[in-house]
Structure 1
Amino acid sequence: MSNPYTTLISASELAKLKEPFIVDSSHDLAQPDAGRRAYEQAHIPGAIFLHLDDDLSAPKTGRNGRHPLPDPDAFAAMLARLGLRQGQQVVVYDRAGGSFAVRLWWMLRWLGHDAVAVLDGGWQAWTAAGGASEVQSPPARAPGDFKRGAARVGAVSADHVLDNLQSARHLVLDARAPERYAGEVEPIDPVGGHIPGARNRFFQTNLQPDGTFKSREQLRSEFTALLEDWDPRDVIHHCGSGVTSCHNLLAMMHAGMDGSQLYPGSWSEWCADPQRPVATGRDPGKA
């Protein structure tokens, strides 16, 4: 496929695509069934639904975080059964500013698939642009030929992040809200605070008031100021469970700052081991 969309795609651009593979990944952490219910009420024509807990995560052990990554080969095989073809343009959307759609965007790049983009502004942008909708799920597609390829993104383990506390070879960026980063509140995980040395970049900072991403130029300016002298390739992103951290990864890539890595287990995995250190307090001037 020539010139695939690899970061963001607008509603008008999506409307012009021929045979895209569209995925609705709407979700709500507090109401795990809300995304599926919203999909069943209305969705972009042809879109399938993939659930964050059921389809995009492996079983939890109590030590591997709230949304551990599935086996990559098994996940690739599932996508092929759903009809995904090699090189086919994938478009993922949600109803929360891309905060859940970015998970599948990253995972497909993890499987070596370059032609994947998040719908900028999500469902709201689609309907505001006059996009059509449907209620019925699309008929099953013939199986596709999608296969796992060489990863286009990197992932690191908790041990790697722990070692970095001594080596300081990487800058860790935390995508959670400032009050969670600071340990002032923790509505989801059993321990509040952050990984020592991590800087805070709340993922919602990437968005404009209408829920679309800021311009490439503005994102580049903001991340450049945040990273200071750090090379984007030396950045590790994390959040609560390896989902919204992908929002910062996407924003950086959209701004031309490629090469960052993800800590998929994120805070929910990190704090599950009481031997791992925890810091509290705000990140002065960096949130």
Structure 2
Amino acid sequence: MGFTTLVSATTLQALIEQRQSLVILDASFDLADVTAGERSYREGHVPGARYVHLDRDLSAPKTGRNGRHPLPPREAFAETAGRLGVTARTQVVVYDRQAAMFAVRAWWMLRWLGHDAVAVLDGGLAAWQQAGGTLDTAVASPAGLAPYPPRAPLVNSVDAASLLPRIGLARLIDARAPERFRGEVEPLDAQAGHIPGARNRFFKDNLDPDGRFKPAQQLRREFETLLAVRDPSQVVHQCGSGVTACHNLLAMEIAGLCGSALYPGSWSEWSSDPSRPVARASVGA
């Protein structure tokens, strides 16, 4: 089964030395400068890593009503996974330079294809360097393999139409920064505010000061306090565009609270339709 949530930098070093069937993905990105992640990759990355771009590789074209980072069809992402060298027998490790906020999207999407052996590098590139890992500037060429054979998804998702009648019934967790959640600012999307009934769990609250994920038991206590539900399958995660919500999904997996769902369209899709309800008062913490 391999690693399915996190790997440490030292574990990744060992996997590389053992010449395991391994694909390393650098998912670094910047919402304000969509070329910055690829530039930073070219300046230095984990040896052998391939670059995966949020807009080109992990999203479908935008229509104005489907959110800022809509999911591509599974068949299209299966082709991307094959191009990156992922097979059913591959251990994938994904990282970024931004507290795992983009790496988690690739983690979730590979699980969406049915690929279990995918994990996030705990602490990202900074942890790799702190562990003595070297950087490489060589751009890895595409593997060009056949499309990944999609299996049954290992994750759950919901769309806006199915979420709307569940408002007030599902436990909805919003991963955005508190000021955006409260509707005080909105730098990216059509409206300020949040989906009614949502509770706020800023994705960076999953991390210790060193940028690594908090211990599993601590994450479990924090999420159980926030959720006040026994069944994680009743939980739906969202954020601005379906990216950092995956951070909370990963944190719950680490905590052993498995089975919650992602609303991929998230606030950017929800707020694009003025007929959908919007809230601006704080709910939860």
With the shorter chain as reference, the TM-score category is over 0.9
Distance 1:54 1:238 in 2: 21
Kept after mapping to 2: 8 A contact 1:112/1:149: yes
TM (norm. structure 2) is: 0.96
- The aligned residue for residue 207 of structure 1 is 207
Instruction: Give the aligned partner of residue 173 of structure 1.
Output: 173
Greater shift in the superposed pair: 132-141 or 198-207: 132-141
2:6 corresponds to: 8
Q: 1:245 — aligned with what?
A: 245
Return the alpha-carbon distance in structure 2 between the equivalents of residues 31 and 54 of structure 1.
14
Matched AA of 1:202: F
Moved over 6 A (4+): none
The aligned counterpart of 1:45 is 47
Quote the offset at 1:228 in angstroms.
Answer: 1.0
Q: 2-side partners of 1:143 and 1:58: how far apart? A: 21
Aligned residue runs from structure 1 range 1-287, under 5 A: 3-17=1-15, 18-141=20-143, 143=145, 146-165=148-167, 168-283=168-283, 286-287=284-285
- Cα distance in structure 2, aligned partners of 1:145 and 1:68: 20
The one-letter amino acid of 1:11's match is A
1:275, CA displacement in angstroms?
0.1
Question: 1:191, CA displacement in angstroms?
Answer: 0.6
Structure 1 SS opposite 2:173: strand
User: 1:228 corresponds to which letter in structure 2?
Assistant: A
Give, as a single letter, the amino acid of the residue that structure 1 aligns with 2:30. D
**Amino acid paired to 1:13:** T
Partner SS, residue 54 of structure 2 = coil
Q: Secondary structure at the match of 2:66?
A: coil
Task: List alignment gaps of at least 5 residues for structure 1.
Answer: none
Structure 2: any 5+ residue segments left out of the alignment?
A: none
* Larger deviation, residues 238-247 vs 73-82: 73-82
Q: Which amino acid aligns with 1:132?
A: T
TM-score by length of 1: 0.95
Residue 42 of structure 1: CA displacement? Answer: 0.2
Of 61-70 and 126-135, deviating more is: 126-135
Distance 1:142 1:278, change over 3 A: closer
Distance 2:13 2:147 in 1: 25
What RMSD, in angstroms, separates the aligned Cα atoms of the two structures? 1.2
CA contact (8 A) 1:82 1:144 kept: no
Is the partner of 2:128 in helix, strand or coil?
A: helix
CA deviation map 1:206-263 (0-9, x unaligned) = 0011110000010001001111134211000000000000000000001100000000
Q: Deviations over 1:61-106 (max 9, x none)?
A: 0000000001111210221133211121000000011010000000
Range moving further from structure 2, 145-154 or 189-198: 145-154
**Deviation of residue 108 (structure 1)?**
0.4
User: How many residue pairs align between the two structures?
Assistant: 281
Indicate the percent of aligned positions where both proteins have the same amino acid.
57
Contact 1:57/1:67 (CA < 8 Å) preserved in 2?
Answer: yes
